[in-house]
Structure 1
């Protein structure tokens, strides 16, 4: 066996984590930590140590496991200390004035420490007051996401406290502190901090599923775009007409390349064809500029049309988007490759069902007395 390889215990110790603590982090980040399989065993090397140290530094800087996973997924693993510092700086610029998960846990318990039941909405309002957050801070979202940072962290805290039996969900989104929760509030400060650090590492499996589904969808969208680019241009025309029809825009047809003036397809919004949508498709790798959109607009004018959809497998330049937005006499919708792929997924064009998972939750109303 290569002496430079080490087991999981040794990897944990090399970055200053206990065996149990390191094991949890390594399991969560197993897809990002380099490893070697030797029979049924998994071994790690110096590169594994470097990556795990990066993860530990990000954790010590205040990022949760979920936030670190998102950074790795969106931007990749930081290669240098400068990359690491840039991530931390960017993180604090967007979240630095919003309390991290570890700081929310005790206030959450104190708000419900009288033993009464409280709704999630009430607890959120009280936590907002406790941390004196502005409306902007309360609603601020992660980059490229609609999820509120503060609400997401409260949700993670709620799961961790519930998973550790410090709170109980007595009815739908309604919580009550448990005896264990009251004991925790009165524990020695150092013991409380140790417990909070352990709870902070707990990740809601449902959040993991959602993240993985999103990751699978993004990979599928990339594969669809590449596949569409490899097809004959006439296939793309059929795809866009089929897609618009699946979206409920009426009957459609391909116009062909003989004398279409830049029009590749027509969708009839009504049975008599009194109002039509004209389509153009570009199977391109390069950006689609203003000139092409302007040319499509001219083709619509020649047809006396007021509605058009321009679809490309690549993307539109800023000037092309601004031109389409400024049009007054007609409406041209621009659909880039990423949007096209996602619409094809949503409306089952060129995709098939691989597997279907159903996640269930408790129905509290079933257990209520009539």
Structure 2
């Protein structure tokens, strides 16, 4: 089964906390056993790769219930049910969620924008955000993923609106940004100047020119995939040149036959489709620039430690 959202986890987290002081990893193990989660589900990470998904959702369940006064934090990294939390459990609730927490003044106060917003009808938009099944970090990751996908699509669209020579420049800039080649001028001279029918260019793998990478670039529309015959023609050119390394870049995609074909070659041939091209351009700041940086800070538990 999939990992429940953090609101669904509120009730089991409070029940475990009512049994005595616990920690997020311990609560996660008990909940995972109760739900019968697989090892893969227990180890599933947030998209950021910074924390286990189950641990993150338990943390936010605990955090919001603490703001409602149902959870106490007696010491670093430990939590337990408060008297109010135990009393609430005695009512045998079927579920605890953000809507239920709105009945606790402490919770509403936590989300209030100002002193004049004292009623639930005037509660700020952050309560609506908290009411989502996703934790704040999951919402941030989802928003980042959406913006990243939109940026990649826009990059490819703009590449298609430019000239073929501009696409060659994009490949030069990208390879240089990734650490290949020497100067921009040297790379530009080599890319697109090989004279071989199946190779668009060659670029030094390092600044000393100890090894070379041969490049093929195809600016195709999204619905036109690169098939095995085109890749096979590129590999044939590599063999004729005595080359062992090649990169085939396209703005579209590769057919399954082309992908399978390069897996069994003695030469090292990397296929870069439009999606990966967009990822690499964003990662290496080619055709994009930083818009803004947002820092998220956490409580420093060591600062408050008595040790």
Taking structure 1 as the reference length, the TM-score comes to 0.64
1:288 equivalent in alignment to 2:226: yes
**Which 10-residue stretch deviates more, 104-113 or 312-321?**
104-113
The answer to whether the 8 Å contact 1:237/1:265 transfers is: no
Tell me the equivalent position of 1:333. Answer: 270
CA distance in 2, matches of 1:109, 1:121: 15
CA distance in 2, matches of 1:240, 1:224: 13
Q: CA deviation at 1:264?
A: 2.4
Tell me the equivalent position of 1:221. Answer: 152
- The secondary structure found in structure 2 opposite 1:112 is helix
* Cα distance change on mapping 1:148 and 1:279 into 2, 3 Å: same
The answer to whether the 8 Å contact 2:10/2:96 transfers is: no
Q: CA deviation at 1:165?
A: 3.6
CA distance in 1, matches of 2:180, 2:72: 48
CA distance in 1, matches of 2:17, 2:174: 51
Structure 1 spans left out of the alignment, 5+ residues: 1-93
Q: Which of the pair has the greater relative contact order for Cα pairs under 8 Å at 6+ separation?
A: 2
1:122 equivalent in alignment to 2:29: no
1:267 equivalent in alignment to 2:203: yes
Alignment of 1:15-30 (within 5 A): none
* Cα distance change on mapping 1:245 and 1:128 into 2, 3 Å: same
CA distance in 2, matches of 1:138, 1:121: 11
CA distance in 1, matches of 2:10, 2:301: 25
1:367 equivalent in alignment to 2:272: no
Q: 2:262 aligns with which of 305, 324, 327?
A: 324
- The secondary structure found in structure 2 opposite 1:248 is coil
Tell me the equivalent position of 1:185. Answer: 89
How many residues in Structure 1 have an aligned counterpart in Structure 2? 269
The answer to whether the 8 Å contact 1:279/1:308 transfers is: yes
Tell me the equivalent position of 1:276. Answer: 212
* Cα distance change on mapping 1:342 and 1:173 into 2, 3 Å: farther
Q: CA deviation at 1:159?
A: 4.3
CA distance in 2, matches of 1:319, 1:213: 33
- The secondary structure found in structure 1 opposite 2:97 is helix
Q: CA deviation at 1:266?
A: 2.4
CA distance in 2, matches of 1:110, 1:220: 44
CA distance in 2, matches of 1:331, 1:216: 33
1:108 equivalent in alignment to 2:38: no
**Which 10-residue stretch deviates more, 232-241 or 171-180?**
171-180
* Cα distance change on mapping 1:368 and 1:275 into 2, 3 Å: same
CA distance in 2, matches of 1:260, 1:288: 19
CA distance in 2, matches of 1:337, 1:225: 7
Taking structure 2 as the reference length, the TM-score comes to 0.75
* Cα distance change on mapping 1:135 and 1:269 into 2, 3 Å: same
The answer to whether the 8 Å contact 1:312/1:337 transfers is: yes
CA distance in 2, matches of 1:320, 1:100: 40
Tell me the equivalent position of 1:298. Answer: 236
1:351 equivalent in alignment to 2:288: yes
CA distance in 2, matches of 1:265, 1:168: 65
**Which 10-residue stretch deviates more, 352-361 or 145-154?**
145-154
Alignment of 1:50-65 (within 5 A): none
- The secondary structure found in structure 2 opposite 1:181 is helix
